[in-house]
Structure 1
Amino acid sequence: MITESNMSDVQEPIVTAAPEIRQIIERVCQLEKNRLDRKSQGHINDDIVKIIKEEVQ
Structure 2
Amino acid sequence: MMKGIEELKMRADQARSLYRCGHITRREAEEDIRPYAEAFNTKSKEIAKKYGQQARLFSITSYLR
Quickly name the TM-score band, shorter chain normalised: 0.3 to 0.5
Which of these two proteins has the greater Rg computed from alpha carbons? Answer: 1
TM-score (norm 1): 0.43
Which structure ranks higher in relative contact order (CA pairs < 8 Å, sequence separation ≥ 6)? 1
